[in-house]
A = this chain, B = another copy of it.
Amino acid sequence: MSESASPLDFYFDFSSPYSYLLSEKIDDLAARYGRKVRWHPILLGIVFKATGSAPLTLQNAPKAAYSLRDFARSARFMGIPYRHPEKFPLATQNAARAYYWLHGQDCALARQFAHAVFRALYIEGLDVSAPETVLEIGAKIGVDRNRLETALQSPEMKEKLKQEVDAALALGVFGAPYVVVDGEPFFGADRLPQIEQWLASGGF
């Protein structure tokens, strides 16, 4: 496999509106250039604690107000349905663990699950921090509820998520969405045009 065909890495937290926006576009964009995307749900709470940062909506008042406006406007600009969730930000370790557990068995199902979690949160406004909601989302796409419930509490899945967050921090991830293309990092859904240009020309 040549370097130019290597997959993109997409780091995200389900509790990140701009991650949701990018999640609706990144696979199709990569596919147009013969690339696949590796999805890595991480926990921004740990990343922000390590880097001394905070979610946009918990920063200063004018920035928080602007961010809420920009989430919705950017979604409209990108042609993606969006409704800001009542419960936000929210804990996403259950959804992330479920993703990695599914990914160990069926990559395509894990991708389907990730989209379902994002859409449950940003279209339906469901509280995806609750294990019950995560199990329900899984059940709708054919995931065994009992096995998933066990997996959410398993030491292996807790450890797997911890390792993924640690790896992201080691790579320099300080927020989300964060995409790496052949070693080049791109932060933010608004870097999509630059990612496309990079894929088209191998750098610029």
Interface-facing stretch out of A7-15, A64-72, A90-98, A107-115: A64-72
| CB<8 Å pairs between A and B, sample of 17 | A51-B62, A51-B63, A53-B59, A53-B60, A62-B174, A63-B174, A63-B175, A66-B174, A66-B185, A69-B185, A73-B194, A73-B204, A77-B193, A77-B194, A77-B204, A188-B190, A190-B191
Count of A interface residues, CB-CB < 8 Å: 28
Give A170-186 as 1s and 0s: 1 = Cβ < 8 Å from B's Cβ atoms: 00111100000000010
The 9 lowest CB-CB distance pairs between A and B, nearest first, are A51-B60, A62-B172, A190-B190, A62-B174, A63-B174, A77-B194, A52-B60, A76-B204, A66-B187
Supplied contacts A63-B174, A77-B204, 9 more A-B pairs, CB within 8 Å: A51-B60, A53-B59, A53-B63, A62-B173, A66-B174, A66-B185, A66-B187, A70-B187, A188-B190
Interfacial residues of chain A within 148-180, with CB under 8 A of chain B in the complex: 172-175
Q: Which residue of B lies closest to A60 (CB)?
A: B51
Contacts of A190 in B (CB 8 A): 188, 190-191
Complex CA–CA separation, A155 to B190 (angstroms): 42
Q: Which residue of B lies closest to A48 (CB)?
A: B60
Complex CA–CA separation, A74 to B65 (angstroms): 26
Residues of A within 8 A of B (CB): 51-53, 59-60, 62-63, 65-66, 69-70, 73-74, 76-77, 172-175, 185, 187-188, 190-191, 193-194, 197, 204
Contacts of A185 in B (CB 8 A): 66, 69
User: Given A69-B185, A185-B69: A194 and B74 within 8 A (CB)?
Assistant: yes
